[in-house]
């Protein structure tokens, strides 16, 4: 089969994002087309949600709800049953509003009389002030009508997601769909049992969408990109559907989940559904695989590919050493074939940085492959997506940006690097300004001293609107232990430079790192309070530390004062690993307090108070002076 007649269909399986396409298929499709291969793509995650959240879809949901005795209905299902007619009447207008096709509906939505309000709307109660005033006034002000409406409409969709979970498919969620079947799951049994079970309404609709996509494109090869555990089950359902109806089509599994959790895959049942599983950057393995399927390359010359030996039913890992495609030569991603006007602009969390993740359609682009630092002890620095650092020239990146804007008509970009290199951002900013390229962009960086006030201003002039970065545990002792390569004072000066340039700054924060004490946690919160107080950061979020088998902590736990718990025998997924920290700190209890504190700090509440107020139990007084950050900001950058 000549390359020109070999058609490849890349699929985004449920669930990823609803506001913008997950970029993996755009990258693969653009690359394959640059090599003369007939490549197309489909977003079945969006297609499934739009099918479910339609009048026809909700009528089918209502039929399922009617089968549940009222006494056994959850609050969300009870609300749906009681207001079924209103849901059926409002779903199409709400979807059109969130797609930007009917913005005037905002006036009716904010009236609070148009949409049926289920349990998710109870979250608004926490916003009511002491005088019983406008519950969303603090968040959106007097003029934020459209944003208020988006938030209310998102709560409405979340109520419907709860109905789908409680009445149709207990695994259903907009993001973490059936996640427990795959995440760090040592056995394939739970996934195999789910795939063998009677299909739910969600499964049936996904099968219909899958067969329709196959009929439209008539592919020879289908690529299933699974970035998260919450997209694995649906990917296997898609593969199962294809194999049942079109067994001649070859199916290939890849993506972020595979690259982190299936590196030691030995489960032969996986290959009842997919023919091949590839690891790491997909360009070189796919070229080799497509050559193999055309009869131009033997199976022994595949690259980073798992396959099943049909004679012995054993899983083989085949990896002929062959150079990866240079980052500068992977081509320009293309969104051709994806319904860019049908994505949903949601406003779920009122955190200003998290809003960028769910609101608006962003073109996702990578400034460089991998991480130039690759030392952080909590990170999977041994894996290709971080460990192999490679860049491209500013002119190549600007050419890609120009091509993407011309194709999509959208000028918003999210640079999805693990940590965008400052030298590359500086060169790109100069290139964008020189070309008069008018875009808005945001991305993730390390808060290192290279980001001077001058560079921050340059980035802002080139269109940078927001920057996120890892402060992790705001403790110099722990930052040194985790090899972060920054200090708290340095982070303060860098984030202040970004803020002064008009760039929104979000800090990724961590708790529960090995040997972190209660004193460390209280001191870290004091540093965070001061960063907000001094206008260094406007947004933040605390994550619980998770030890992975690929990180330095997972590989050398003794260096971090912890003992790993034994992992079960595994022939499927392997990633998270438990550990014993001799400090014995109850990080879960502390974490609840940290999240409450930062939520309030983002809204200017409690910044003058002692941080101990956020803990309902006794904690030690902070050892950090209250003017520590203010003094650091007075020092030269």
Contact (Cβ atoms closer than 8 angstroms) between residue 362 and residue 26: no
Q: What pLDDT is stored for residue 134 in this prediction?
A: 56
Q: What is the maximal distance between C-alpha atoms in the chain?
A: 75
Mean predicted confidence (pLDDT) in 136-160:
81
CA distance 277 to 296: 20
pLDDT at 139: 56
Give percent of the chain with pLDDT exceeding 90.
89
3-state SS class at 82? helix
pLDDT (tens digit per residue) in 253-267: 999 999 999 999 999
Name which of 364, 362, 437 is nearest 395 in CA terms.
Answer: 437
Please give the distance of CA 213 from its chain centroid, rounded to a whole number. 25
**pLDDT tens by residue, 279-318:** 999 999 999 999 999 999 999 999 999 999 999 999 999 9
Alpha helices, DSSP H only, in 296-415? 352-358, 384-387, 394-408
pLDDT at 11 over 90: yes
Q: What value, to the nearest 5°, has the Cα angle with vertex 177 and ends 176 and 182?
A: 85
DSSP assignments along 427-496, one per residue: HHHHHHHHHT---EEEEEE---TT--HHHHHHHHHTTEEEEEEEEESS-HHHHHHTT----HHHHHHHHH
> Checking DSSP bridges between strand 7-12 and strand 38-43, what pairing results, if any?
parallel
Q: What angle do CA 542, 412, 46 make, to 5 degrees?
A: 75
Q: Quick one: which of 127, 613, 538 has its CA closest to 353?
A: 538
Q: Are 224 and 274 in contact (CB under 8 A)?
A: yes
| Number of other residues whose CB lies within 10 A of the CB of residue 171 | 20
When pLDDT is averaged across residues 144-151 and rounded to a whole number, the result is 90
Rounded to an integer, the average pLDDT of 427-437 is 98
CA distance 355 to 539: 11
Tell me, what DSSP letter sits at residue 363? E
Which residues, in sequence order, are CB contacts of 81 under 8 Å at separation 6+? 62, 65, 66, 70, 73
Cα separation, 214 vs 205, whole angstroms: 14
- Tell me the chain's radius of gyration from C-alpha atoms: 25
Q: Is 52 helix (H, G, I), strand (E, B) or coil?
A: helix
Angle made by CA atoms 613, 615, 618, in degrees to the nearest 5: 100
What is the C-alpha to C-alpha distance for residues 395 and 161, in angstroms, rounded to an integer? 44
Binned at pLDDT 50, 70 and 90, residue 129 comes out as very low
The pLDDT mean for the chain works out to 94
pLDDT per position as a tens digit, 574-622: 999 999 998 999 999 999 999 999 999 998 999 999 999 999 999 999 9
Pairing of strands 464-472, 440-445: parallel
Q: Are 48 and 14 in contact (CB under 8 A)?
A: yes
How far is the C-alpha of 116 from the C-alpha of 230, rounded, in Å?
28
Give the integer Cα–Cα distance in Å for 358 and 347: 6
CA separation for the pair 380, 392 (Å, rounded): 23
Query: Residue 348: what pLDDT?
Result: 83
List the single range of 122-126, 317-321, 468-472 with lowest mean pLDDT.
122-126
User: 3-class DSSP state for residue 345?
Assistant: coil
Residue 7 has pLDDT above 90, yes or no: yes
Question: DSSP states of 402-432 as a string?
Answer: HHHHHHH---EEEE--SS--HHHHHHHHHHH
- Strand ranges in 279-347 using DSSP code E only, listed in sequence order: 305-308, 315-318
201: pLDDT confidence band, cut at 50, 70 and 90? very high
State the Cα–Cα distance between residues 449 and 591, nearest whole angstrom. 29
pLDDT tens for each residue of 48-98: 999 999 999 999 999 999 999 999 999 999 999 999 999 999 999 999 999
558-576 burial, b at 16+ Cβ within 10 Å, e below that, comes to: eebebebeeeeebbbbbbe
- The mean pLDDT of 527-546, rounded to a whole number, is 96
Q: Which of 585, 613, 305 is nearest to 473 (CA)?
A: 585
* Integer Cα distance of 15 and 227 in angstroms: 10
Question: Average pLDDT, stretch 440-445?
Answer: 97
Rounded Cα–Cα distance for residues 348 and 359 (Å): 9
**Residue 155: predicted pLDDT:** 96
Strands 539-544 and 504-511: parallel
Query: Which residue, among 224, 225, 285, 232, has the nearest Cα to 250 in the 3D structure?
Result: 224
Could you give the dihedral angle defined by the CA atoms of residues 366, 368, 7 and 213, in that order, rounded to the nearest 10 degrees? -30
User: Among 236, 223, 224, 230, which Cα is nearest to 267's?
Assistant: 236
- The string of pLDDT tens digits covering residues 459-503 is 999 999 999 999 999 999 999 999 998 999 999 999 999 999 999
Distance CA 570, CA 591 (A): 31
Mean pLDDT of 172-192: 94
Cα–Cα distance, 239 to 180 (Å, whole number) = 19
Going 280 to 281 to 286 to 292, the CA torsion angle's sign is negative
Q: Give percent above pLDDT 70 in the chain.
A: 96
Round to whole Å and give the CA distance between 403 and 409: 10
pLDDT at res. 4: 61
What local confidence, expressed as pLDDT, does residue 385 receive? 86
Q: What is the mean pLDDT of residues 116-124?
A: 93
């Amino acid at each position: 089969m000549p390359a020109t007649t070999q058609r490849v269909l890349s699929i985004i399986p449920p669930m990823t994002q609803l506001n913008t396409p997950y970029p993996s298929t755009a990258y693969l499709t653009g690359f394959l087309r640059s090599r003369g291969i007939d490549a197309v793509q489909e977003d079945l995650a969006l297609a499934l949600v739009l099918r479910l959240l339609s009048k026809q879809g909700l009528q089918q949901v209502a039929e399922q709800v009617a089968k549940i005795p009222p006494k056994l209905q959850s609050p969300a299902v009870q609300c749906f049953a009681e207001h079924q007619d209103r849901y059926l009447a409002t779903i199409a207008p709400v979807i059109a509003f969130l797609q930007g096709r009917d913005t005037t509906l905002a006036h009716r939505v904010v009236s609070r009389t148009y949409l049926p309000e289920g349990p998710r709307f109870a979250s608004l109660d926490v916003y009511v002030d002491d005088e019983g005033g406008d519950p969303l006034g603090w968040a959106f002000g007097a003029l934020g009508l459209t944003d208020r409406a988006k938030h209310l409409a998102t709560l409405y969709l979340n109520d419907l997601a709860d109905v789908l979970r409680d009445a149709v498919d207990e695994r259903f969620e907009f993001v973490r769909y059936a996640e427990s079947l795959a995440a760090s799951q040592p056995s394939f049994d739970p996934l195999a049992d789910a795939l063998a079970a009677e299909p739910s309404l969600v499964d049936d609709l996904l099968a219909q969408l899958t067969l329709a996509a196959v009929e439209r494109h008539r592919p020879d090869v289908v690529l299933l990109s699974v970035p998260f555990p919450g997209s694995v089950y649906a990917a296997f359902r898609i593969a199962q559907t294809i194999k049942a109806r079109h067994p001649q089509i070859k199916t290939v599994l890849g993506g972020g989940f595979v690259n982190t959790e299936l590196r030691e895959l030995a489960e032969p049942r996986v290959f009842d559904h997919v023919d091949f599983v590839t690891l790491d950057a997909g360009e070189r393995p796919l070229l080799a695989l497509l050559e193999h399927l055309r009869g131009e390359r033997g199976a022994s010359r595949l690259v980073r590919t798992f396959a099943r030996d049909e004679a012995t039913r054993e899983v083989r890992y085949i990896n002929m050493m062959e150079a990866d495609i240079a980052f500068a030569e992977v081509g320009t991603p293309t969104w051709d074939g994806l319904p860019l006007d049908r994505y949903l602009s949601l406003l779920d969390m009122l955190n200003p940085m998290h809003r960028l993740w769910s609101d608006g359609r962003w073109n996702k682009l990578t400034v460089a492959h991998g991480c130039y630092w690759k030392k952080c002890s909590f990170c999977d620095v041994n894996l290709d997506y971080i460990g192999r650092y490679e860049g491209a020239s500013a002119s190549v990146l600007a050419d890609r940006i120009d091509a993407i804007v011309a194709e999509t008509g959208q000028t918003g970009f999210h640079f999805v690097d693990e940590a965008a290199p400052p030298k590359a951002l500086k060169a790109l900013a100069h290139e964008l300004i020189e070309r008069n390229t008018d875009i808005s962009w945001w991305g993730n960086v390390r808060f290192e001293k290279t980001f001077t006030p001058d560079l921050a201003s340059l980035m802002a002039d080139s269109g940078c609107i927001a920057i996120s970065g890892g402060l992790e545990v705001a403790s110099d002792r722990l930052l040194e232990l985790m090899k972060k390569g920054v200090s708290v004072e340095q982070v303060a000066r860098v984030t202040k430079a970004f803020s002064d340039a008009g760039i929104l700054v979000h800090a990724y924060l961590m708790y529960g790192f090995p040997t972190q004490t209660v004193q460390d946690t209280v001191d870290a919160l004091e540093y965070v309070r001061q960063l907000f107080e001094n206008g260094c950061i406007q947004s933040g979020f605390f994550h619980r530390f998770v030890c992975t088998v690929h990180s330095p902590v997972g590989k050398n736990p003794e260096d971090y004062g912890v003992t790993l718990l034994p992992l079960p025998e595994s022939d499927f997924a392997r990633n998270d690993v438990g550990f014993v920290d001799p400090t014995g700190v109850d990080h879960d209890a502390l974490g609840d307090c940290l999240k409450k504190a930062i939520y309030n700090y983002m809204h200017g509440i409690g910044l003058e108070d002692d941080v101990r107020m956020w803990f309902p139990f006794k904690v030690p007084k902070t050892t950090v002076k209250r003017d520590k950050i203010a003094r650091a900001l007075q020092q030269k950058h």
